[in-house]
């Protein structure tokens, strides 16, 4: 039995800033000219042009919600509790908005059809959480089964999709909402350590959601058939990427060696995923790679012998949005469906996280069976009617 990702919806918070402006602000807060130069250098090399946050804090401290500055211009670090309460304020409304879009009937699904909700986040915890608000505010059945995949990191969307697939295989009428919410900017820390500077240069806020079911896709919506998943651990990278709860936010360990560790192992890991379906790397045209950073994409491209166009969606998401942890791979898949949803094609997806853990998935694009007229063209045609 096939299972399908019927729809993807993405959401960015309202506050957006150029990477250069964020670098300038962090450099000023450092209070040290040499550190400020290093910050500007790291931010410039990131491959990121803009990032979004639920907070205005990093470029508009006069409107700050969480961070503040004392009389000497030093940033006052908020507690973990304050950061988590900020997560609770923003995560619920974002989750409800995404779920509302997925069950608005356009793909043939309505609130009363939903049987399972899987929420994903490594940047905040609250209970009753976003899953509860989706059920109560959208009028879903109270019998909806709710699950949370917490603190897994950047790779978590793929295990969530695999979990949704397993629900559908066990119950053919299942309709599963997968909702990823990551508010990484809440955990920025004003330290001059390499880990902190690199994390502050990469991470951003965003949310994305997918609707998964074994029911046939709608005629006018391209879908993804979920063919298989693979999990792997690269033990030599265990000290290079980690994430723990500290007293002043969540503490990140992010070594500059991570791209090299991935590069050495990615061919073996991808081979394990594709071999189950009798495929080789050269036979897969589309690659949805989690853009953990520009160096990671460069190393994956070189190690797998990919063409630049094959990683273009990943690079575009990194450039426009930054690294949104687990959310990011769903942004890449959404862009891939928009660009390639008219023809059948194989997609390989890769995401990386603490451990060093590598999650991967193989999907097939199921094109729409009838053409979709973009809304803009519909309006233009109406204007031409005399």
Place of tokens 């998401």: 317
Domain boundaries, the chain: 223-366
The 10s digit of each residue's pLDDT in 88-108 is: 999 999 999 999 999 999 899
pLDDT band, residue 386 (cuts 50/70/90): very low
Give catalytic status of residue 122 as yes or no: no
The whole-number pLDDT of residue 220 equals: 85
The 10s digit of each residue's pLDDT in 33-81 is: 999 999 999 999 999 999 999 999 988 777 889 988 888 777 888 999 9
Concatenating the DSSP letter of every residue in 346-376 gives EEEEEEEETTTEEEEEEEEEE--SS----HH
Check 122, 154, 168, 221 and give the catalytic one: 154
Task: Please state, in angstroms and as integers, the Cα–Cα distance from residue 93 to each residue in 41, 88, 138, 291, 330, following that order.
Answer: 36, 9, 11, 26, 19
- CATH code of the region 223-366: 3.40.47.10
Task: Please state, in angstroms and as integers, the Cα–Cα distance from residue 335 to each residue in 72, 80, 257, 261, 286, following that order.
Answer: 45, 34, 29, 27, 11
3-state secondary structure of 69: strand
Alpha-carbon gap, residue 288 to 77, rounded angstroms: 36
In this structure, how many other beta carbons lie within 10 angstroms of the beta carbon of residue 37? 12
3-state secondary structure of 84: helix
Cis, bond preceding 128 (omega within 30 deg of 0): yes
Alpha-carbon gap, residue 171 to 342, rounded angstroms: 30
Residues 6+ apart with CB under 8 A from 106: 7, 218, 221
Alpha-carbon gap, residue 331 to 317, rounded angstroms: 7
The 10s digit of each residue's pLDDT in 165-192 is: 999 999 999 999 999 999 999 999 988 8
Q: What is the mean pLDDT of the chain?
A: 92
193: Cα within 13 Å, side-chain hemisphere: 11
Q: Which helix (H) or strand (E) holds 254?
A: strand 249-254
CA Rg value for the chain: 21
**Mean of the pLDDT values across residues 231-244?**
92
Alpha-carbon gap, residue 354 to 151, rounded angstroms: 10
* The two three-digit tokens of residue 268, written as one number: 């073996």
């Amino acid at each position: 039995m096939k299972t399908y990702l019927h729809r993807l919806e993405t959401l960015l918070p309202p506050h957006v800033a150029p990477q250069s402006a964020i670098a300038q602000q962090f450099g000023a807060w450092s209070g040290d000219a040499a550190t400020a130069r290093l910050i500007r250098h790291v931010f410039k090399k990131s491959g990121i042009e803009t990032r979004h946050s639920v907070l205005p804090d990093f470029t508009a401290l006069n409107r700050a919600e969480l961070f503040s500055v004392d009389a000497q211009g030093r940033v006052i670090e908020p507690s973990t509790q304050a950061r988590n309460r900020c997560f609770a304020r923003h995560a619920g409304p974002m989750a409800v908005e995404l779920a509302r879009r997925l069950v608005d009937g356009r793909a043939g699904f309505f609130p009363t059809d939903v049987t399972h909700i899987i929420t994903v986040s490594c940047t905040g915890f609250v209970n009753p959480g976003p899953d509860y608000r989706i059920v109560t505010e959208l009028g879903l059945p109270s019998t909806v089964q709710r699950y949370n995949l917490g603190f897994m990191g950047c790779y978590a969307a793929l295990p969530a999709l695999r979990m949704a697939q397993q629900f559908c295989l066990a119950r053919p009428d299942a309709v599963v909402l997968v909702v990823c919410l990551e508010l990484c900017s809440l955990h920025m820390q004003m330290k001059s350590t390499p880990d902190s500077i690199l994390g502050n240069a990469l991470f951003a806020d965003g949310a994305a959601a997918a609707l998964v079911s074994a029911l046939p896709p709608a005629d006018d919506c391209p879908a993804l058939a979920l063919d298989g998943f693979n999990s792997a651990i690269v033990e030599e990278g265990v000290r290079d990427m980690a994430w723990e709860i500290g007293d002043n936010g969540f503490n990140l360990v992010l070594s500059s060696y991570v791209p090299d560790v991935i590069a050495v192992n990615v061919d073996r890991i991808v081979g394990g995923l594709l071999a189950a379906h009798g495929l080789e790397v050269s036979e897969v045209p589309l690659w949805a790679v989690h853009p953990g950073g520009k160096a990671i994409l460069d190393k994956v491209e070189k190690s797998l012998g990919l063409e630049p166009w094959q990683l273009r969606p990943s690079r575009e998401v990194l450039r426009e949005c930054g690294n949104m942890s687990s959310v990011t791979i769903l942004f890449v898949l959404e862009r891939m469906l928009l660009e390639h949803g008219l023809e059948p094609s194989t997609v390989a997806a890769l995401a990386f996280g603490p451990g060093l853990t590598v999650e991967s998935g193989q999907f097939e694009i199921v094109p729409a069976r009838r053409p979709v007229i973009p809304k803009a063209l519909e309006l233009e045609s109406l204007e031409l009617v005399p």
